[in-house]
Structure 1
């Protein structure tokens, strides 16, 4: 027995150190597979279904091996859970001398220089932002890490936070007067010296692409890189291989230019004037789009006269701002940096107007106040695969949902894995749960078609019948906010149970209320389909309104579909079905989280039965009992102890 598999044995280190630890064969198998990666560039892709214990399975070899390890998670919440809960448990048992560090993106750390500037020159801000800035200032006197997540009084989307954090564009680096005290610099120094660094996919991809100062030194030094929740990686990587310009980016730059005019270059009146004109041009461009937030095809938007004129006016203002800033170079380090930011935005804006270049999706997205325009590669396989080949590291990609009908092809192709086939290894680890006894899959008869006008009322009736039979909690997962709101409105009037609706509070607060109630109804969309771990009576039934196909008018999907057709392939089979299957597996995975869990999964979409591709979905789900009778599903719920 190898050293790493021995720690999972009945009398091994983990059984002795962790109360209630139960050895799992799948855990040992995954840990052994990671240990067997010997050569730089080798890749291991592991689908470890719920209950296999994949976190401990990669942490053990990470702690026992020599050399640096990078662990990347899907979200900041999972990153903190791994660093503060799981990693300390195993480190104490296996390698207490190993040093671990938590590293987040720069927007998570207080920038002392920008805080000082905004407090001294707050500009035109309302009383709410001023109050939030005071909270940050008070906290700044106490914090040791500068991690803004420590401030419980502020929401994650607080408008004060961007004012006291830096971006890669406006950070002064070593030229900053606060460089020696910089929290980001300190965090990166700790990461450089640590044996194990816990990051998230957004940070990893951002620094991989941007070669951001500091973290870029970590990647070549890592001997082992592990991606948990790896199914999220292709979409996250797409964001960071994109070229983007947003009106928010331009407005923020203009505010910095106005601050420089008021403080360091007071004689440069043209600087203030062009900053005002540039900001107005950015805001005018946003006004050429509908008031309500939307996504759309940038090529189509450019073709409209009103938007086309506004786009050209913004380009002219960017050029004029560049000319004015160029004449002021050398008078201020901050101004020199603003010039570089302006030059980058100008070049990207020119790029985004040349929509004839193929191989990319050109799309836009609006919020109530801003517009962002993107040029996204249709595939990140080539650039991401090239980066993997260039790094002297061993790679592990793991998640509970990576295969479609037993195959890794869709996931591997999206990331460019296996460019050297001899270096690619795959492993599927089945869940230890007895799904035949623990769970029932119900595909109810007689429901309306998914897009029928009658579907919302049918869903309300079904949920009410389920709740009447279910003494535990119920998740209702939707593919659209519109359907969620229709069902939520009806349920609030028709049931005495606690009804929790996504958007009315934070995700964490909603889940805390749901678990505490033990018989509540929670209605959620995409963010509740994954990363949610509720055990026991608190969750006994998961209802999914329909198959989670991406919206056909989603610009990036449209571009990928068109590209797939040009290659002579079937985009529905090659792209849309695999994406939906992985999303469905994530949603279904909320039901059974423990060996003692029992419950019912109800999928309210006739296409699971009437369409041939429905079999692909069913084959990818856990091997539960199946029925088309809602009455049998309700009886199963009534008998759950």
Structure 2
């Protein structure tokens, strides 16, 4: 039950904020504040500070214009302070993260009267490792790099110059070691040489610990009332047990903005994958080079004794994979190489007995290898922390780095093969399994992948049952006007709070139309030809237009057929980066010229083009997912196995959510207006089209 003093505190902060900003209260915003405060007010802490109540999760759908960021901050910051918990605010995109960090939180701090501190949290891999930078600049041999010479690109003069600038700016206090604050984008390979992970980090024994960007950022987190993170970091922390990077779930109240992405992100974190030939290669290289690497630590007799079986463990794993290669090669002979992504999906995730037998043997040997590597890694870490003088510090540090890489590679293989051992279909916890061909390498490599089909159980066990409280919000939490889809995929309890708050927008300012010439888009050849014939007539040359496609092939086909004078103002995805397309589009509109963005799904969500930047959104076809995506196909199989209709229960609701997101690109402020054209007759010719239309905002319609 929300205490009266907390209620008054939130109301006062809201009134003060509105007055200072000269804003009017919004009905949907007020509803959202009240719903979040009421839900978090149900938290009941035991003597150890753990929540024992169950009604502590609020799911709120709030459309553009609601002011949801201010709403959830005003409601959750006082609640977190009341319970002495840290508020972890998680977003799905960098753009929203930066907006919250640089605009919304400072605004609230300045104008609401609330007192709180906040900071940004990032993973270790976003920060410079000074120790590794010194090694690179000092030409100290990297054992891990030396082990895999064919995978390493020689250090260029440009990279050496880059690393020297990094060192100089760090020493002068002109750079904080954050990759994202560097003066220009750093490519992945250049950055990988000078960052680290938790297994390679020397921790408190690092000679550069005082100046370590990661540890300095972690220290700031310890004192922060609000930590701004992203979904990937929260999930990575949970995969390490919770509390490894961020505060433990029991000590946190979470807000997940763009929360509809959370189940999908969770699946990515719990998936397993390993490249077959790549694993054979690194095992062989490691096996052959290990005696040379160990020689530098001859004086560490106990470590050397522990390491005696390692070469044999490498060989055993390599032999199993080499013996199984003909089986994997034979399985993949049926793969259509003309596919955009050539792969073989196993129906219901089930494999034949031969593959399961290979998996059991491989997992047995990789378990032994992983256990030994973990033991050696722990031993060398202990020696470093004990300031052992039996071997040079540089040799021990190099060994820690090498073993850290090996542990990660062995663990990836172990997880993969364990998930392939017993693959009988499990209706309660289904898995998807597939093999992707990597034809860019010679010989062709086989990437084996497995993933849970549902993240619900994993999120329920690791997050919802542990956290003090949580808020999930976005503009698209519902599908077909129901929360059922999200509730099931996210593993939320029946007694969670679900609320859809109204948007302040006048949706009648937008016209929704299906042109008379529109065809059913499942007739792909005829539909593409209709777009080629009619789009030049539909697009106004002097205004801002966004054209969205569901298929990359169709997008390119139609673009190539456009007349030159229209191509001249089209900015097509794939020709430039997404940000350059948006920036160029806005410049053209600012100069009074027309501009057309020609894009795929990434432009249908999270793109903000208010006012004249977008007066017309054109959607080529209803955004049904590609049927050969392994996880989508496996999910559909699971629904069918339970007696459901995959098209009506999966494809239609998913398409509805994507269409709402795409249509949401038009009205970005209360004064916006324009047209949404959907060039797919199925919206009005199919029975399911009515349900999809009814889930859209109440636009003015011309059909």
Match of 1:340 in 2: 407
Residue of structure 1 equivalent to 2:580: 509
| 1:217-296 aligned within 5 A | 217-222=247-252, 224-246=253-275, 265=295, 290=337, 294=341, 296=343
Distance in 1 between the 2:464 and 2:371 partners?
42
Higher deviation after alignment, 606-615 or 442-451: 442-451
Separation (CA, whole Å) in 2 of partners of 1:261 and 1:507:
48
In terms of mean alpha carbon deviation, does 58-67 or 582-591 score higher? 58-67
Match for residue 166 of structure 2 among 139, 150, 156: 139
The alpha-carbon deviation at position 495 of structure 1 amounts to 1.5
How many residues are paired up? 615
Are 1:44 and 2:58 an aligned pair? yes
Name the structure 2 match of 1:26: 28
Instruction: Give the one of 361, 377, 388 matched to 2:463.
Output: 388
Aligned counterpart, 1:467: 539
**1:56 alignment partner, one of 70, 73, 86:** 70
Cα deviation digits, residues 346-378 of structure 1 (max 9, x gap): 422422432524321113445645764332112
Closer, same or farther: CA 185–327 of 1 in aligned 2, 3 Å? closer
Q: What corresponds to 2:529 in structure 1?
A: 457
Pair 1:134–1:441, CA change in 2 (3 A): same
Conserved? CA contact 2:62–2:503, under 8 Å: yes
* Worse-superposed segment, 308-317 or 107-116: 308-317
Describe the SS at the equivalent of 1:383: helix
After TM superposition, the structure 1 stretch with the greater mean CA deviation from structure 2, 446-455 or 515-524, is 446-455
Structure 1 residue 196, shift from structure 2 partner: 0.2
CA contact (8 A) 2:346 2:432 kept: no
1:207 pairs with 2:237 = yes
SS at match of 2:677: strand
Q: Deviations over 1:62-97 (max 9, x none)?
A: 333413211111122321221112211111112564
Residue 581 of structure 1: SS of its match in structure 2? helix
Matches within 5 A, 1:315-394: 332-338=399-405, 340-354=407-421, 356-358=423-425, 359-365=430-436, 368=440, 372-394=447-469
TM-score (norm 1): 0.84
Distance in structure 1 (CA, Å) of the matches to 2:571 and 2:285? 40
Deviations 1:215-268 (A, max 9, x none): 25342221x211111111111111122233347995889999999887764599
Structure 1 residues 394 and 326, CA gap change in structure 2 (3 angstroms): closer
Partners of 1:159 and 1:567 in 2: how far apart? 46
Match of 1:190 in 2: 220
Note the 1:426-505 alignment, pairs <5 A.
426-436=498-508, 438-450=509-521, 451-468=523-540, 471-491=542-562, 493-495=564-566, 497-505=568-576
Q: Distance in 2 between matches of 1:434 and 1:109?
A: 45
Indicate the residue corresponding to 1:634 in structure 2.
none
Against the structure 1 CA distance between its residues 73 and 338, is the aligned structure 2 distance closer, same or farther, given a 3 Å change threshold? closer
Mapped partners of 1:226, 1:383: distance in 2: 18
Match of 1:112 among 130, 144, 167: 130
Instruction: Give per-residue Cα distances to partners, 1:191-214, cap 9 Å, x unaligned.
Output: 222000001111111211222663
* Residue 698 (structure 2) pairs with residue 623 (structure 1): yes
**Partner residue, 1:397:** 472
| 1:409 counterpart residue number | 484
Cα distance in 2 between the residues matched to 1:110 and 1:89? 30
Deviation readout 1:435-454 (Å, 9 max, x if unpaired): 11x10001122333314213
Q: Is the 8 A contact 1:48 1:428 kept in 2?
A: yes
Structure 1 residues 13 and 170: alpha-carbon distance in aligned structure 2, compared to 1, 3 A threshold: same
Match in the other structure for 1:3: 9
Partners in 1 of 2:341 and 2:653 — Cα distance?
A: 25
2:386 aligned residue? none
Name the residue aligned to 2:304: none
Q: CA RMSD in A?
A: 3.9
C-alpha distance in 1 between matches for 2:404 and 2:355: 30
Deviations 1:455-487 (A, max 9, x none): 22322333322323x632111111111111112
Match of 1:164 in 2: 194
Name the SS of the counterpart of 2:229 in structure 1.
strand
The answer to whether the Cα contact below 8 Å between 1:271 and 1:325 also exists between their aligned partners in 2 is no
Instruction: Report the secondary structure of 1:454's partner residue.
Output: helix
Instruction: Note the C-alpha offset of 1:585.
Output: 0.8
SS of corresponding position for 2:104: helix
Matched residues in 2 for 1:475 and 1:2: separation? 45
SS, match of residue 217 in structure 1: coil
Residues 90 and 327 of structure 1, relative CA distance in 2, 3 Å threshold = closer
- For each residue in 1:312-332, what CA deviation from the matched residue of structure 2 results, as whole angstroms up to 9, or x when unmatched? 999899699779969987574
Q: How far 1:146 moved relative to its partner? A: 1.8
CA contact under 8 A between 1:227 and 1:396: conserved in structure 2? yes
Structure 2, gaps ≥5 residues long: 1-6, 44-53, 299-307, 381-398
Q: Indicate the residue corresponding to 2:179 in structure 1.
A: 148
Which residue number corresponds to residue 48 of structure 2? none
Structure-2 residue corresponding to 1:99? 117
Asked if residue 567 in structure 1 is aligned to residue 567 in structure 2, the reply is no
Specify the SS of the correspondent of 1:593. Answer: coil
CA distance in 2, matches of 1:583, 1:351: 35
Instruction: Find 1:81's aligned residue among 70, 94, 99.
Output: 99
Distance in 2 (CA, whole Å) between partners of 1:308 and 1:500 is 49
Q: Which consecutive unaligned segments of at least 5 residues does structure 1 have?
A: 629-641
1:605 aligns with 2:680: yes
CA distance in 1 between partners of 2:313 and 2:422 (Å) = 31
Computing the radius of gyration from Cα coordinates, the structure with the larger value is 2
Residues 312, 241 of structure 1: alpha-carbon distance in 2 compared, 3 angstrom cutoff:
closer
